[in-house]
Amino acid sequence: MARNLVAYHSRTGITRQVALALVPRLAADLLEIRDVRPRDGMLGYLRSALEAMQASLPEIAPVTQELAGYDLIVLGTPVWVGHVSSPMRRFLRDHGQRLRRVAFFCTMGERGAESTFQQMRDLLGRDAEATLALTDRTVCQERHLRSLDEFAARLLRSCPAATATAAEIEPASHVPL
């Protein structure tokens, strides 16, 4: 059976909501990429935007999972001012070479997915198996579930070792788009 991981960073909880919904669809483990310093309130928002624009590498909590043991790692990040979040940037810089197969998802206000995915590709030095961009509004209104089902199915089909896993997972119910 394939071993899958969903690794994400979330400042407001929207990216976390998507990550949590992906875990059962992929029969995956979960890894939260956590900041050492909090990002609460307006100052946290401003710090996040500044770090994203400056391509900063903030300190993140240690990663305890053995990343090389996963067949697929799905990486989730919010889009900050058209950039990958700085904690995800740090994770990719520190751990990217140990990741075998990857897929990306992002959550955003309205735009910035392509530049964010390109930054993630550049940090890894390779492309993703698949990408999924969701607006915050779509996630908050729970109109993203069909897209998650399709994203997960595409990932499971692309990995021969995941065939048994895909057959064991029942499609999640979803709200029509």
CA-only gyration radius of the chain, Å: 15
Which tokens belong to 105?
Answer: 């998802």
Distance CA 31, CA 78 (A): 15
CB atoms within 10 A of CB 170: 8
CB atoms within 10 A of CB 176: 6
Q: Note the pLDDT tens digit of each residue in 6-56.
A: 999 999 999 999 999 999 999 999 999 999 998 999 999 999 999 999 999
Chain Cα centroid distance, residue 43: 24
Residues of the chain predicted below pLDDT 50: 162-177
